[in-house]
Structure 1
Amino acid sequence: MTDLNLIVRVAARGDGVTADGRFAPLAAPGDRLLADGSVEPGPHHQPPPCRHFPECGGCQLQHLDDQSYAGFVRDRIANALEGQGLKLPDFAPVHLSQARTRRRASLSAQRIGRRVLLGFKQERSNRIEDMRECHILHPELFALVEPLRALLAALLPDKRAATVKMTLADQGADLLLEGASADTLAAAEALTGFADRHGLARLSLDDGFGPQTRWEPQPVTVTLSGTPVLLPHDAFLQATADGEAALVAAVREALGDAAVTADLFAGIGTFALSLAGKLYAAEASRDAVLTLKSSGRGLFVEHRDLYRRPLSTAELNRFEAVVLDPPRAGAEAQAQQLAASTVPRIAYVSCNPASFARDAKLLVAGGYRLAHVTPVGQFRWSTHVELCAAFARG
């Protein structure tokens, strides 16, 4: 007989779901929902490692062990595909990034009197969870959290909010402070002194008129598939190095030995720089386009907004393979053109299972076969899921 109080899965926003469809916060598969609304832990319920859980919005699933967390990542993708009426393909084992490997993050800050709050915002709230420990950030980035409080106390007026964008580059930490200004000599000296003491790769301010570099001893780069490329301010970078490697490997496997490839929504070259043969790259960000053109790899790069002007079927038919890595909104217009094309192979990288499944339905309706999906959970303990899907003609 089915135990209707048994938690059988975790929903998209992180709540456990019982066999009869009731929701239970902070429940893992195998837990039981008791009559008073509390949860009796089961075999997959682990003690959360961080004191800030569950208030901090940086993590929603620290109570899941790796087996159930991997199941959540896979199920998010499978449920999205089934919701579009698609047959499930083969799934690779889920790749999970380990704790303390995040190399980019956006933290919120606010000065209240002499105190500066700094951390992720609380779940479903604008309140800042003041970070005193973190189990997802790379240690080199977390080491800057406490010193940043003192710096921001000197830069922010009382009750002023700011955002700290952190990225780990080849030369060290790259920081962009949004909402902060340094108009006095003392503030300018505080900035350069902070950057020097902590060995930053770059320190920039954005007071509303775009990033201004205030410290950069040498050009900041990030190495992608063995090629160092310039890192523009606030450029998109995969959240972990191992997550990037898993997605690159999946893309390469999906494309095989294609000699002429198009990389659409190419960014700064995460996938284009990993591929052999002739490469065309399309990207809407001017800074990313300049990075790709200066990479030394001989790519043909076009500054092109693929939402407004997707590649046409005639343009696509010149390629043996296509890589798609769109933002969360997906690539519906481009997928429609691809569905009518003769491109033999497609690798679709996505950070949103819902928009991916919508676009996958278009491709399948156009005659493509969804052959394989590689799920990636590089935002450790969050509900954020990534994937690489392989499509083939016929």
Structure 2
Amino acid sequence: MSALTVTIQGLGAAGDGLVHGADGPLYVPFALPGETVSVARVKDRGTIMSMSTISPERVTPRCRHFGPEGKGGTCGGCSLQHMSAPLYNDFKRNLVISALKSKGIDADVAPLVTASPGERRRVVLAARRTEKELLLGFNQAESHHIVPIEECPIASPGIVARLEAIRQIGSAISASADPFRMTVLETLTGLDIAIDGVKAADKQRRAVTETVLALRGIARVSLNGEIIIEPQKPLLDFGGIKVVIPPGAFTQATLAAEEAMATLASAHIGKAKRVADLFAGSGSFSLRLARSAQVHAVEFEDKAVKALDHAARHAQGLKPVSIERRDLFRRPLMAQEMKTFDAVVFDPPRAGAEAQCHELAKSAVKKIVAVSCNPLTLARDLAILISGGYKLKSVTPIDQFLWSPHVEAVATLVKR
């Protein structure tokens, strides 16, 4: 470990302060461009010891768990609370711009669709039983130590108000000091709590059931994908269509971001009559698009497929929705199979849709909407499509993981 004083020159991809030196880049978490800081250096990381010049872009963090003097290091849930809104918004937009440029794509990237405090309907909490209590919160930055929380400015008021109930359920399920996760989703009918990483005996399962029955506002509790108790079916609304979400299923973290993505997709598709929705999940795009077009939804997760199928069959006012269970990583939809579609929407996991994009590039599909949570894999996939004759029309970054370095993006393309 060595101590030195540096002036921050920029921001790294994770939002850390960045210094270019003779020994390579130095990353200083919670530092901002223009600040002069004394740091303890270990390899390419610097920990702030003191600050002599403070950026006018530094603001007071909203959450008391963030860390002393806005320097972070306590709760690791949000790492960018110390940035002003203009700096933060530019940082996230530039993540997309930089990723595109790395693949030779010079695009006119729209301003960031911003997120607001209190919008997160889904949070993943860390938990661990101690001799005195159940620790429930988020891991400390760069650590497995759990910081117990009493507030969370990013989470919806409905989740924050039930933190004690969530803690009681976690305490009931845990019989050891091993850490585990509690994914909490606020649904229309109450909280859906999916617990992972716990081996629970019948005694603990009964304790969870008794605890939930004594509480209000809990729709379901599941353990490692298996339902323990379900007082209410957990429902989400996808454009006016109610869907029973499977335990632990993927959902967009905020409703505002989901609606922004769907609006961009619908506007680009326009009057398309037949649309393929690839990596369809439980139908957040498919069911909305089916208001005006026939939709073929393709998804691999069996429970998500069944949830989408059930919702589509029981909804009114939809065009036909066909559903296919298929692993698009191993067996992408082939160009020949897409000849009947006017438009394609795809929203893959972070790994992107490389194999699928090679087939899309060979297809005659007129319009494509690419949705991504990873700017780097999005840039790779867009480069494949562009080389196959598609023209990039728009790229819109969308924030739903407030005060984090994660950013979504929606890109639209047309066949030349």
Unaligned runs of 5+ in 1: none
Task: Say if 1:113 and 1:158, in contact at 8 Å, map to a contact too.
Answer: no
Indicate the percent of aligned positions where both proteins have the same amino acid: 37
Pairing 1:35-184 to 2, within 5 Å after superposition:
38-39=50-51, 40-53=53-66, 54=72, 55-88=74-107, 90-178=108-196, 179=198, 181=200, 183-184=202-203
Q: Distance in 2 between matches of 1:258 and 1:315?
A: 17
* SS of residue paired to 1:59: coil
State which drifts further: 144-153 or 357-366.
144-153
The whole-number CA distance in structure 1 between the counterparts of 2:172 and 2:236 is 30
Quote the residue 1:331 is aligned against.
353
- Structure 1 CA distance for aligned equivalents of residues 172 and 342 of structure 2: 55
Aligned to 1:293: 309
1:10 is matched with 11
**Is the CA contact 1:260–1:277 (under 8 Å) kept in the aligned structure 2?**
yes
Structure 1 residues 8 and 273: alpha-carbon distance in aligned structure 2, compared to 1, 3 A threshold: farther
Residue 19 of structure 1 deviates from its aligned partner by: 8.0
Moved segments of 4+, more than 6 Å? none
Asked if 1:229 corresponds to 2:243, the answer is: yes
TM-score for both structures, normalised by structure 2? 0.87
The answer for the alignment partner of 1:271 in structure 2 is: 285
SS at match of 1:268: coil
Contact 1:24-1:33 at 8 Å conserved across structures: no
Is the CA contact 2:300–2:325 (under 8 Å) kept in the aligned structure 1?
A: yes
Structure 2 CA distance for aligned equivalents of residues 62 and 212 of structure 1:
36
Moved more, 329-338 or 287-296: 287-296
User: Does the C-alpha gap of structure 1 residues 6 and 366 become closer, same or farther in structure 2, counting only changes over 3 Å?
Assistant: farther
Letter in 2 for 1:231: I
The 1:176/1:192 distance shift into structure 2, 3 A limit, reads farther
CA–CA separation in structure 2 for the residues paired with 1:46 and 1:316: 50
| Cα distance in structure 2, aligned partners of 1:126 and 1:374 | 34
Given that residues 205 and 228 in structure 2 are in contact (C-alpha distance below 8 angstroms), is that contact kept between their aligned partners in structure 1?
no
Q: Shift of the alpha carbon at 1:237?
A: 0.8
Number of the residue aligned with 2:36: 33
Residue 158 of structure 1 deviates from its aligned partner by 3.5
Please say if residues 283 and 305 of structure 1, whose CA atoms lie closer than 8 Å, have aligned partners that are also in contact. Answer: yes
Aligned letter for 2:399?
Answer: G
Q: In 2, distance between residues paired with 1:267 and 1:202?
A: 20
Shift of 1:124: 2.3
SS at structure 2 position matched to 1:47: coil
Q: CA deviation at 1:343?
A: 0.9
- Residue 153 of structure 1 deviates from its aligned partner by 3.1
How far does residue 157 in structure 1 lie from its aligned partner after superposition?
A: 2.2
Q: In the superposition, relative to structure 1, how do residues 152 and 290 fare at CA in structure 2: closer, same or farther (>3 Å)?
A: closer
**Secondary structure in 1 aligned to 2:264?**
helix
Q: Who is 1:243 aligned against?
A: 257
Inter-partner Cα distance in structure 2 for 1:26 and 1:70: 16
1:324 is displaced (CA, Å) by 0.8
Report the more deviating stretch, 152-161 or 309-318: 152-161
Q: Deviations over 1:281-337 (max 9, x none)?
A: 100011111112112343110011101110111112221110010000000000101
> Which amino acid in the other structure matches residue 175 of structure 1?
I
Measure the CA separation in 1 of the matches of 2:242 and 2:404: 30
SS in 1 for 2:111: coil
What SS is found at the alignment partner of 1:204? strand
Could you state the TM-score of these two structures normalised by the residue count of structure 1? 0.91
Aligned partner of 2:44 in structure 1 is none
Cα deviation for residue 7 of structure 1 reads: 4.7
Three-state SS of the structure 1 residue aligned to 2:177 is: coil
Which stretch of the first structure deviates more once superposed, 346-355 or 56-65?
A: 56-65
Report SS of the residue matched to 1:167.
strand
Q: Aligned partners of 1:137 and 1:69: how far apart in 2? A: 19
Sort the Cα spacing of 1:351 and 1:195 in 2 relative to 1 into closer, same or farther, 3 A.
Answer: farther
Separation in 2, partners of 1:154, 1:311: 45
Match of 1:313?
A: 335
Q: Which amino acid aligns with 1:256?
A: G
SS in 1 for 2:414: strand
What is the distance in 1 between the residues matched to 2:255 and 2:293? 24
| Aligned partner letter, 2:240 | G
> Residue 252 of structure 1: which of 266, 280, 284 is its match?
266
Q: Partner residue of 1:360?
A: 382
CA distance in 1, matches of 2:213, 2:100: 47
Give the secondary structure class of the aligned counterpart of 1:201: strand
Residue 34 (structure 1) shift: 4.4
Q: Which piece of structure 1 moves more, 43-52 or 353-362?
A: 43-52
Shift of 1:365: 0.9
Counterpart residue type for residue 389 of structure 1: A
Tell me, in whole angstroms, the C-alpha distance in 1 between the residues paired with 2:89 and 2:352.
23
Unaligned runs of 5+ in 2: 1-5, 40-47, 67-71
